[in-house]
Amino acid sequence: MFVNWDDISRALSPIKDYEDLCRRWQVSLSYSFVRETFNYSMPELADYTRLGVGGDPRGRYSDYASRLIGIFTELHQAGVPDIVDLVARVETRKKLEDFSKQNQIHAQDVVAVLKYLVYWFIPTEKYLSGLVRDDPAISEAIKVLRGLGIRTNLDLLQRGITATGRKALIRSSGLTKTVIAELVNRADFSRMPWSSKATISNIMGAGYTSLAQLASADPQQLYTDFFNYGKSIGKNLKLGNEIENSYRLAKILPVILQEE
């Protein structure tokens, strides 16, 4: 089956090229917590997609979700058991070409799935400094963690998922429990698709300091809290995708943080 790499490059935008796409999920899967928690089977990915992009209340991604679910079905029928197996089979251009030819699955469809995983499912690498709006104390804490080799959200989540890990971070960094908890929760929020430091700061500013707290919120109280917080900073946060999608997606994201 012929692979048109020019078409694939255009479909990958804004990702630079196929190698950059592969690098992104290779980095993510190098963390054990990502491999253990996010290695969904193709049927599990289909279910997640129905609830995620397919569950958008405005129906903006219905066609996209249907296409993805169809591809997951093809991959499942081709004997692909899970995400780790899939990415191992297509980790180079040559491997993708061979996989496409052997299984009669369009390379463009496989690439669409890989791009979807990077943007909508598998947590990707983000610098801790990119998760915080102006906050000198937290910025100083990030510098301390950098000295311990913790530079990204994935570094911090790998070290701080468990209560024992967070206690170890407190001891090794000299930072307070409150600061470590905030940074770990910011890293956890960064797993939400398209999350930015503004989104994370708004959610926490509205009083929802963890992903679990956001997921269990009462919808009406959530809107009220966002509106009041927005009013306090001179913005209208009552309506819009930020609240609606953050709340909806928080309810279906895999839980990784362990409580005390």
pLDDT at residue 157 is higher than 80: yes
Q: Give residue-wise pLDDT tens across range 108-148.
A: 999 999 999 999 999 999 999 999 987 899 999 999 999 99
- When divided into structural domains, the chain yields a total of 2
Are 242 and 196 part of one and the same domain? yes
Q: Give residue-wise pLDDT tens across range 165-214.
A: 999 999 999 999 999 999 999 999 999 988 888 889 989 999 999 999 99
Are 70 and 142 part of one and the same domain? no
Which pair of tokens denotes residue 102?
């052997």
Are 87 and 135 part of one and the same domain? no
Closest CA to 151 of 133, 135, 134, 130: 130
Are 168 and 107 part of one and the same domain? no
pLDDT at 234: 85
Report angle CA 15, 17, 21 to the nearest 5 degrees.
65
Say if CB 46 and CB 149 are below 8 A apart. no
Which pair of tokens denotes residue 39?
């290695």
Domain that holds residue 32: 5-121
Say if CB 224 and CB 216 are below 8 A apart. no
Q: Give residue-wise pLDDT tens across range 17-49.
A: 999 999 999 999 999 999 999 999 999 999 999
pLDDT at residue 259 is higher than 60: yes
Are 107 and 146 part of one and the same domain? no
pLDDT at residue 239 is higher than 60: no
Residue 183 lies in a domain: yes
Are 135 and 166 part of one and the same domain? yes
Say if CB 66 and CB 72 are below 8 A apart. no
pLDDT at residue 10 is higher than 70: yes
Amino acid at 100: S
- 149-153's contacts with Cβ under 8 Å and 24+ in sequence apart are 151/127, 152/125, 152/126, 152/127, 152/128, 153/123, 153/125, 153/126, 153/127, 153/128, 153/186, 153/187, 153/190, 153/191
CA atoms within 13 Å, Cβ hemisphere of 78: 21
**Mean pLDDT, range 69-78, rounded to an integer:** 98
Are 91 and 134 part of one and the same domain? no
Which pair of tokens denotes residue 163?
């209560």
Look at residues 92, 121, 150 and tell me which one is the last residue of a structural domain: 121
For the chain, the first-to-last Cα distance in angstroms comes to 52
